[in-house]
Chains A and B, each alone.
Chain A
Amino acid sequence: MKGILGVIFIAVMILIVFGMVLPVMVFFFQTGEKSSSILERDVYVLGNALDYGHEVGETALAYSVYQGCYDHFQEAGVWYDNGPVSLETLTDDLEEEIETVMAAYTLAPYNFLFSIPVTLPSDYEIVIAQSSDGLIVKALSDQFIQLSREEEGETISLSMDSTLDSVIGTSCYDIISVGRAKAQVIGEALQVLVGEEINKWEKGPFSVQLVGDLTASLQSARAMGSAVFQDVYGFPVEVAEGQIAQAIAEGRPVPTDSGAFEVSSKNSELSVTIEPQCTASLEVDSEGAVSTVVDCQAFVYHVMVQEAVNVLETREEFFVPVDTGSAVELAPLDLEFGVRVGVALDKEYEQPQDVAGEYTLIIEWSAPGVFSSSHPLTINQNLNSLSGTIGDGLFSGTLDGSSIMIDNGAIDLGSLGLAFVQIAGVWNFGEITGTIIGTLDGEDAQGTFIAKPQVMF
């Protein structure tokens, strides 16, 4: 009995002690427990907010690609200007347009659950590449997707890598590829058309003797040239200009559709000006008859022709959600670009020699030492524009008739550190011969070369 009373006594005492201690524990531990919980909660919620930021980035990137392509295609510029614009240039221009739109999307933070602002980089660099699955788009920035939040004096800041990497199902790049190919076909056809048309007309020199003193009416070279045209063709230069323009307008190349893309073109500029280079003088013969002699050294034919080419996506499943200016709607990508050919010819137009192909380049060096080297040479040609590779090095150059000029800076020839290269060659019955100068490992170098076509069996 005494033992039981003792136990009850001790139990009561313990309860009393707990009753006194508990409120004290509550007082001291309450703040810490709560803060800890809030911090844990916030970190967890903010972690979700970062994931949300990444989703926002991916979504904004897709919309930026659509809008960027759409906007860029509205004013794509000239894609053939006496030669094709490189695919690299076209890609760079599109990337810049997408970057501009993406920067607008990420200018201000996005609010997660209406209370947590999530900041995305505003300086994304866009890199695009085509794949069989669609357009591979990467958005790169040194900045982070980040957020911070203050709660009860504690600041939580979180950030994550901001790189975005998406494959976007759009025909944007396909349209660029089709457009570029069409630009080249139309541009080359226009160049040939203009050249062949000008070849039909005399270039001079002419010397025409006109009866009487006409110096008062032949004050300008154009008036003199017109008088000569009147004598040769029976009409002045203005009529000739009109006839050339009409022939070019009627012979304009008409593009064909390409798969799902409708391709059309219209003339946006066509001007023909004949610039006579003439002088006039008076002559009096032995019988006292006065005549005016008009000497024309040359007639320079200036032709400028520009086509506005349109490539239109026809498949509804590839329409893109964009602001068209009148509404935000699903709209087809509609590319419009220019093809421009401008010439000033005072001699016969010659179609460029076909020099494209695979060669073996054999160089006989005379400085800095006497030795020979051999390198594979590939020449790609677009009318008078050349590009290709020597060994592993890229080059670009020009073709004038059968003369080849390459002035290209450094060319990586593997074991030979060749720089400041200038190559002058002449194509002759399939072989190219000429001279090469530059520097080899810092020393002046020069030599002669022969490029022999590689025979394919």
Chain B
Amino acid sequence: MGWVLIGIFIMGAIVFLVGVPFLDNVVGTRNTVLFTVNADDRGAEMTSFLAAQRDGLYSETIGLYSVEGFSGGEEIELTLETLGWNMEVRNGANEVVKQIGDVKDPEYTEIPLPGLRRGQLGLDT
């Protein structure tokens, strides 16, 4: 009887060590979770970046890149450099009006621009 219990214990261990990862892979939850984390990170990064504030709200300053005569925004460049992120701003005509860093795989989101316009912020994190 003792041997039987030992056998069940060993099998339980085998199922725990092999079965759960196997199950995860089979149903795809691991992939989903990984994908979720990536997407959530980007959404959170985008939101956090827009909400950042130093010498003015970043989302407001970002829109100023589309304005003639604007020469500020150094704090944003510094932040991007520190984080190792890249950014581009496009105006309503989808023209790039500002690019900071080498933007390769940006996640775009719509933003208001001064003068009753809209544009896109591309953030490559």
Asked if B42 and A58 sit within 8 Å, CB to CB, the answer is no
Residues of B within 8 A of A416 (CB): none
Asked if B42 and A113 sit within 8 Å, CB to CB, the answer is yes
Residues of B within 8 A of A211 (CB): none
Asked if A62 and B69 sit within 8 Å, CB to CB, the answer is no
Residues of A within 8 A of B111 (CB): 56, 59, 110
Asked if A429 lies at the interface with its beta carbon under 8 angstroms from chain B, I say no
**Which residues of chain A in 225-269 are interfacial with respect to chain B, using CB atoms and an 8 Å cutoff?**
none
Q: Contact partner of A322 among B15, B59, B114, CB < 8 A? A: B114
Q: Contact partner of B114 among A3, A45, A49, A63, CB < 8 A? A: A63
| Residue in chain B with minimal CB distance to A40 | B36
Q: Contact partner of A37 among B36, B69, B112, B114, CB < 8 A? A: B36
Binding site for A on B (CB under 8 A): 3-4, 6-8, 10-11, 14-15, 19, 22-23, 26-29, 32-33, 35-36, 39-40, 42-44, 46-47, 50-51, 56-57, 59-60, 63-64, 66-70, 107-118
**Which residues of chain A in 98-148 are interfacial with respect to chain B, using CB atoms and an 8 Å cutoff?**
101, 104-105, 110-114
Count of chain A residues near B, Cβ 8 A: 52
List 21 A-B pairs, Cβ < 8 Å: A7-B4, A10-B7, A15-B11, A15-B14, A18-B15, A26-B26, A38-B36, A40-B36, A41-B36, A44-B43, A45-B43, A52-B47, A63-B114, A112-B109, A113-B46, A113-B108, A113-B109, A169-B56, A323-B114, A328-B67, A329-B69
Asked if A45 and B32 sit within 8 Å, CB to CB, the answer is no
Docked complex Cα distance between A52 and B58 (Å): 12
Given A6-B4, A49-B43, A56-B59, A110 and B112 contact (CB-CB distance below 8 Å) = yes
Q: Contact partner of A62 among B51, B57, B117, CB < 8 A? A: B57
Residues of A within 8 A of B29 (CB): 33-34, 37
Docked complex Cα distance between A186 and B45 (Å): 54
The 3 closest A-B pairs by CB, nearest first: A323-B115, A328-B115, A321-B114
Most B CB contacts (10 A, CB to CB) among A6, A48, A58, A104 go to A48
Asked if B23 and A26 sit within 8 Å, CB to CB, the answer is yes
Docked complex Cα distance between A33 and B66 (Å): 45
Residues of B within 8 A of A310 (CB): none
For the residues of A in contact with B, the DSSP-based class is helix
19 further A-B pairs in the complex, CB-CB below 8 A; given A7-B6, A33-B28, A49-B43: A7-B3, A10-B4, A10-B7, A10-B11, A26-B27, A38-B32, A40-B36, A41-B35, A48-B46, A51-B47, A52-B50, A55-B47, A56-B112, A63-B116, A66-B114, A110-B118, A321-B115, A328-B115, A328-B117
Asked if A181 lies at the interface with its beta carbon under 8 angstroms from chain B, I say no
Asked if B115 and A60 sit within 8 Å, CB to CB, the answer is no
What's the nearest-Cβ distance from chain B to residue A83, in Å?
A: 35
For the residues of B in contact with A, the DSSP-based class is helix
Asked if A455 lies at the interface with its beta carbon under 8 angstroms from chain B, I say no
Q: Contact partner of A34 among B10, B27, B39, B50, CB < 8 A? A: B27
Given A7-B7, A113-B109, A328-B66, A34 and B28 contact (CB-CB distance below 8 Å) = yes
Asked if A30 lies at the interface with its beta carbon under 8 angstroms from chain B, I say yes
Asked if B112 and A30 sit within 8 Å, CB to CB, the answer is no
Asked if B36 and A48 sit within 8 Å, CB to CB, the answer is no
What's the nearest-Cβ distance from chain B to residue A401, in Å?
A: 52
What's the nearest-Cβ distance from chain B to residue A276, in Å?
A: 55
Given A22-B23, A45-B39, A328-B117, A55 and B59 contact (CB-CB distance below 8 Å) = yes
Residues of B within 8 A of A30 (CB): 26-28
What's the nearest-Cβ distance from chain A to residue B36, in Å?
A: 4
Asked if A328 and B112 sit within 8 Å, CB to CB, the answer is no
**Which residues of chain A in 9-52 are interfacial with respect to chain B, using CB atoms and an 8 Å cutoff?**
10-11, 14-15, 18, 22, 25-26, 29-30, 33-34, 37-38, 40-41, 44-45, 48-49, 51-52
Asked if A328 and B114 sit within 8 Å, CB to CB, the answer is yes
Asked if A67 lies at the interface with its beta carbon under 8 angstroms from chain B, I say yes
Asked if A456 lies at the interface with its beta carbon under 8 angstroms from chain B, I say no
Residues of B within 8 A of A49 (CB): 43
Residues of B within 8 A of A330 (CB): 67-70
Most B CB contacts (10 A, CB to CB) among A30, A66, A321 go to A321
Residues of B within 8 A of A25 (CB): 23
Asked if A216 lies at the interface with its beta carbon under 8 angstroms from chain B, I say no
Asked if A327 and B43 sit within 8 Å, CB to CB, the answer is no
Q: Contact partner of A41 among B14, B40, B50, CB < 8 A? A: B40
Asked if A37 and B116 sit within 8 Å, CB to CB, the answer is no
Docked complex Cα distance between A347 and B113 (Å): 59
Given A52-B46, A328-B114, A62 and B60 contact (CB-CB distance below 8 Å) = yes
Given A10-B4, A10-B8, A52-B47, A37 and B32 contact (CB-CB distance below 8 Å) = yes
Asked if A4 lies at the interface with its beta carbon under 8 angstroms from chain B, I say yes
Residues of B within 8 A of A51 (CB): 47, 51
Asked if B112 and A327 sit within 8 Å, CB to CB, the answer is no
Asked if A33 and B27 sit within 8 Å, CB to CB, the answer is yes
Docked complex Cα distance between A114 and B39 (Å): 12
Most A CB contacts (10 A, CB to CB) among B15, B29, B115, B117 go to B115
Asked if B57 and A59 sit within 8 Å, CB to CB, the answer is yes
